Amino acid sequence: MQILRQKESLNFGDKKNALLKEINESIKLETGHEAEIVLIAKGDKIHPSLIVGAEKIFDLLLQGFIETEEADFYTRFEEALKKVNNGFALLAEDLQKEILDAMSISVGIFVENKLYLTQYGLDIEVYLVRSKHVSVISTGLDEKGKDNELFVNIASGALENNDIVLWSTERLLRYITKTDLGKMFGADDLSVSLTQIQQTLSIELPTNVCLSGSKMTIINENEPLPAIGVQTDKQVLKFDKIENLKNLLDVLYKKSKNLHAQLKEKKLKDAFQNLHYHQYKIPLVLGGVILLLVLVLFVVQSQIKNQQELKGMEATLDEVQTDIDTAQSRGTYDKETAGNILNKAEEKARAVFNSGYLRTKSSQILSEIQQERDNLDNIQHVKDVQLLVDLTTKRDDVNALGIVKGPDNNIYAYEYNALYVITGDRISDVLKIDDKEQVITATYNDDNDEILFLTSNYKIISYKNKNFQLSDTTDEAFKTGMKISAYGGKLYLLAPLDNQIYRYPSNRDGFSKAESYNVNGNLKDAVDFTIDGFIYVLYKDAVIQMLSHGEIQNFSVQKAPIQTIVSADKIYTELEYPKLLVLDSSANKIVVYNKDERTNNLVYDRQLVFDGLDKIQDFLIDKNAKVLYLLTKQKVYRMTLE
C-alpha cells in the first residue's frame, strides 16, 4: 500500500485583522515511516512574539517526535506533546502570556493512513471530509489544561482513500451548511475546493482566513499510479471557432489558386532565369499549403465530432439527474426498485466519467447517486458521541477487548488480563484477572450476578463479589470455543470448529456436562452469537441465522438495505429488547434491526456510522436508559438512542 497526499493552502481576507501562521514539514523516522507534521496558528493580533512562539512550538514538537523512540505512534505523539508542554513552560513568561491569551494552535501528524490531532484554543476547526460528508474532528480537543499547559487531548483515527482533512481558522459551519461544504469537495483538485470556499466566504467574512487541506490517496499493490497533475475535462472548440477555421480554409484556397495562375503566366525566360530559385521554393510553398489544409480539415472534423459527443454526454447526464429524482420519489414506497434505478444511473454516469468528457460534473453526479443510496438505507453519520472514560489514565498501553454489564449496575471494560470497573463517568478500579490466563471474551450472567470470562486455554473465570475464581465443569474440561453467552441460568459456548453450540447448565460447583445444542445449523463460519430466547448466529459475511431448540428457523430480513452489508464482527440483543444490533468494525458502523414479534423476522432500520472514532472494538446497550456504549482500544464513549 502506498500513500499519496495532495496538500493545498489558501489565505484570503484582510491581513491586518489577525496573524495566521502555517508550518508544514515531512520527516523520515528511524522506523522507515514518513511523518508529515502540520501546525496552524491564529493570533487575535499581529505581534512578532506570536510568530516566534508558533515557530518555537513547532521546533519543540518536531524535536520531541524525532527523539521519542516508540513504535506506537499514538504514544510517540503523546510523549512529544509532553515535551512541548515542558519546553513551553520554560519560555519567557511574557511570551507564554501572549500565546495563551491571544493564540489558537492546531497540530496534526500524518503517519501512513493515520492522523493524530491536538489543539489549543477555540479559533481553529478541523474537518474530515469523507465521500462529501463533513464532520468536525477537533471538537473537545481545546479543553484547558494546567497552568501554562498547551496541549491536553489527542484525537486519532484511520483515514480512508480520498479522505480530506481540512484546517480552517474560521468556523466554516457558521456560514456554510455541512451539505454545501461537502459538495465543494467534488472536484479532483483540492485547490478548486478551497477556492470555492473562499468565494463563498469572501462576502461574509472580511477577516483574514487560512485554509489548509490534505487529501489522501491510497494506492494498493498492482494498482497503477495516478497521473501527475490534475486531469481536466476534454476541451472542444466552440462553433464560432470552427467557423473561423472554415474562413481560414477559404482564404488559403483562394491564395493557392492565385499562386497557380501566376505561375502559369510566367514567361519561359523568367522561368529559366529563376529556375534555381523556383526549383525549391515553389514545391515547398505548395507542399506547405497542402499540409496545412490537411491538418486544418482534420482539426475541424475532429472538433465537430467532439462537439457532437459532448452534446450526447450532456444529454446522458441530464437523463441521470432525472433518474436520481425518480429514485428519490420511488424510494418512499419501493426501495428495491429505487436501488435498481440508481444502479442503472450509475452505469450511465460512470460511462461519461470514463469517456474523459465532463469529468467534474459526472463525478459530482456519482457522489449524488451515492448520497441517495445512503438516504434510502437511512445511513446516519453520528457526531454527538460523548467521551465517558479514557482507559489510558489507568494504563498507558491498554488494549481493550470488550465491554459488558456487571454487578452493582456498573459497566466493565476488559482486556487480556485486566478488568476496568466504570462507575458513572469515572474508572473506580482496575483489577487483575489472572496471572497466567489470557481473556479472549466475556459475558454477564445476570442469574448469578457474575461476569464470566473465556480464556485462550478454554477455561472459564468467574468474577463475583469482587473476587475472581476458575469455574469448574463436571466434564474434564470446557469444550474448545470462541464466544460465550449466558442465558436462563445456562452458559452457551460457540464452537465453530465442532459445528456446535455447547450448553452448560449451572450447578453449585460451577457447570454441569456440556449438552450439544445445534441440530442442523452450519456454524463453520460463525463469528458471534446472541440470545433472547432464540439464538441468533452471526457469520463473517454479515449473514444472520436464527435457531430455536437447536434447529434453523425460517427466517428473513425485511426491507434489507440496497447496499449489501458484507462484513460483521459482533451481534447483540437481549430478552425484551425490541432491536438487534450488528457491529462492522472495519467500517466503524452499527447496523440496527427491529424485531417483528408477529413473524420473528428482522426488519432493517438504519446504520450508525462513527466517522470520528478509532476502531470500535465492542458495544453495549442499556435498554432501560436507552444508552449505547462504544469501546475503542483506549476509550469508552456513550450516546443516547432515540
pLDDT in tens, 412-463: 999 999 999 999 999 988 999 999 999 999 999 999 999 999 999 999 999 9
pLDDT at position 151 = 87
Q: Which residue has the higher pLDDT, 273 or 503?
A: 503
Confidence at 95, pLDDT banded by 50, 70, 90: confident
Q: Tell me the mean pLDDT in the region 84-88.
A: 87
pLDDT at position 362 = 86
Domain 2-219 and domain 381-640 have a common topology: no
pLDDT at position 422 = 97
Confidence at 164, pLDDT banded by 50, 70, 90: very high
Q: Tell me the mean pLDDT in the region 365-374.
A: 91
Q: Tell me the mean pLDDT in the region 94-107.
A: 81
pLDDT at position 267 = 46
**Does the pLDDT value for residue 3 go beyond 70?**
yes
**Does the pLDDT value for residue 600 go beyond 70?**
yes
Which of 2-6, 246-250, 309-313, 536-540 holds the top average pLDDT?
536-540
The distance from CA 188 to its chain's CA centroid, rounded to whole angstroms, is 17
Q: What is the enclosing helix (H) or strand (E) of 466?
A: none
Chain segment 57-85, per-residue pLDDT in tens: 888 899 888 888 776 888 899 999 999 98
Q: In what order do the strands lie in the sheet with 2-12?
A: 2-12, 209-219, 164-168, 125-130, 133-136
Q: Which residue has the higher pLDDT, 225 or 165?
A: 165
Confidence at 272, pLDDT banded by 50, 70, 90: very low
pLDDT at position 364 = 87
Please name the residues in contact with 402: beta carbons below 8 A apart, sequence gap of 6 or more. 413, 414, 441, 442, 617, 618, 631
Please name the residues in contact with 489: beta carbons below 8 A apart, sequence gap of 6 or more. 447, 448, 505, 506
Asked whether the beta carbons of 241 and 232 are under 8 A apart, the reply is: no
**Does the pLDDT value for residue 481 go beyond 80?**
yes
pLDDT at position 275 = 44
Per DSSP, the residues of 550-576 read TEE----EET--SS------EEE--TT
Q: Tell me the mean pLDDT in the region 176-200.
A: 86
CATH topology of domain 2-219: Phosphatase 2c; domain 1 (3.60.40)
Asked whether the beta carbons of 16 and 46 are under 8 A apart, the reply is: yes
Asked whether the beta carbons of 58 and 45 are under 8 A apart, the reply is: no
Chain segment 207-250, per-residue pLDDT in tens: 778 899 999 888 765 555 444 333 334 444 444 444 555 555 55
**Does the pLDDT value for residue 483 go beyond 90?**
yes
Asked whether the beta carbons of 413 and 431 are under 8 A apart, the reply is: no
Q: Tell me the mean pLDDT in the region 386-393.
A: 96
Q: Which residue has the higher pLDDT, 51 or 78?
A: 78
Q: What is the CA radius of gyration of the chain?
A: 34
**Does the pLDDT value for residue 371 go beyond 60?**
yes
pLDDT at position 465 = 93
C-alpha cell at 163: 479522505
Chain segment 500-558, per-residue pLDDT in tens: 999 999 998 899 999 999 999 999 999 999 999 999 999 999 999 999 999 999 999 99
Q: Please count the CA atoms within 13 angstroms of the CA of 149 that sit on its side-chain side.
A: 11
pLDDT at position 291 = 72
Residue with cell 456513550: 638
Please name the residues in contact with 168: beta carbons below 8 A apart, sequence gap of 6 or more. 124, 125, 126, 127, 209, 210, 211
Q: What are the boundaries of each domain within the chain?
A: 2-219, 239-376, 381-640
pLDDT at position 256 = 52
Mean pLDDT of the chain: 84
Chain segment 314-342, per-residue pLDDT in tens: 899 999 999 998 998 888 888 889 999 99
pLDDT at position 244 = 53
Q: Tell me the mean pLDDT in the region 23-32.
A: 85
pLDDT at position 67 = 86
Q: What is the enclosing helix (H) or strand (E) of 233?
A: none
CA 220-222-224 angle, 5° bins = 85
Please name the residues in contact with 620: beta carbons below 8 A apart, sequence gap of 6 or more. 403, 404, 405, 411, 572, 628, 629, 631
Share of the chain above pLDDT 70, in %: 83
CATH topology of domain 381-640: Methylamine Dehydrogenase; Chain H (2.130.10)
pLDDT at position 301 = 60
**Does the pLDDT value for residue 191 go beyond 60?**
yes
pLDDT at position 72 = 82
Q: Which residue has the higher pLDDT, 101 or 506?
A: 506
pLDDT at position 269 = 43
**Does the pLDDT value for residue 289 go beyond 70?**
no
pLDDT at position 229 = 39
Share of the chain above pLDDT 90, in %: 48
* Alpha-carbon span 406 to 184, nearest angstrom: 48
Start-to-end Cα distance in the chain: 40
Residue with cell 497557380: 260
